[in-house]
Structures are given as C-alpha cells and as structure tokens.
Amino acid sequence: MRNRPNAMQPAKCPALAKESYVILAICLLDLVLTGWLIDTKRATEGNPIMSFYLSNGIGMMIAAKMVLIAMPLFVAEWARRYRPRFVHRALRLAIAIYISLYILAFVNAGILACEYPALQLLGR
C-alpha cells in the first residue's frame, strides 16, 4: 500500500509566517506609539477594550494587548498548517485593515497636524 497524503494532514511550515511577523511589528509599533501619545497627552486610547485595561494601569494594557494579539496569531499559525493559502490571504487582509484603520484614526484625530501643517489638509 502506498502512503497517500491526507488532505487534513498538517503541512510542514516555517516557524511563523512572514505576515505574522508583520502583524506583530505593527502591533508593537501601535503599542509604543499609543503609550507615547498618551504619556505626552496628545491622545487618549480610542479602543474601548484597551481603554478599559489602560484604566487599570499601563502594565495591564500591555498584557492585554499581547494576549489579544497572541491568541489570534496562535490560531492562524495552527490553521496555516492545514490551509496555508487561506491563512496567508487572511493575514494579509488583516494587515491591510489594521494599517488602514490606523491611518484613518490618525488623520481623523489630527494628532500630528499641529506639528506638520501639511497634514492639516488631510483632516478636512
């Protein structure tokens, strides 16, 4: 009898997808930038979930952010073993949405407009 590959058998994949590293980098940048903006009183946390954790201290917000990022990435990396093409596409979509929402939030809030007058035009 020949060994046939089973459709539900996990594929061998590298440790983490490139997209997962990109999401981790974006989230860490988001965390550092949010901390800086809050510390310099230029912004408040706009995400109600993160705002709740921030009200319990910056350490709690950092811990919550790490858990809320690690859990979905863990699930995505597990699923990637079975459906790699779908997961790569889903992670790329997540990256595009995350960056788009981040840019939209910055433009809408006008956080950098006072320092960079050219950005004031974008907020209109």
For the residues of the chain, what is the DSSP string, one character each?
A: -PPPPPTTSPPP--SS-HHHHHHHHHHHHHHHHHHHHHHTTS-----HHHHHHHTT-HHHHHHHHHHHHHHHHHHHHHHHTT-HHHHHHHHHHHHHHHHHHHHHHHHHHTTTTTT-GGGGGTT-
Say which residue, 21 or 122, is predicted with more confidence: 21
Residue 98's pLDDT is what? Answer: 92
Residue 37's pLDDT is what? Answer: 86
Residue 23's pLDDT is what? Answer: 96
Q: The whole model's pTM is what?
A: 0.74
For residue range 32-81, list pLDDT tens digits in order: 988 888 888 888 888 889 999 999 998 999 999 999 999 999 999 999 99
Residue 1's pLDDT is what? Answer: 47
Domain segments of the chain as ranges: 18-121
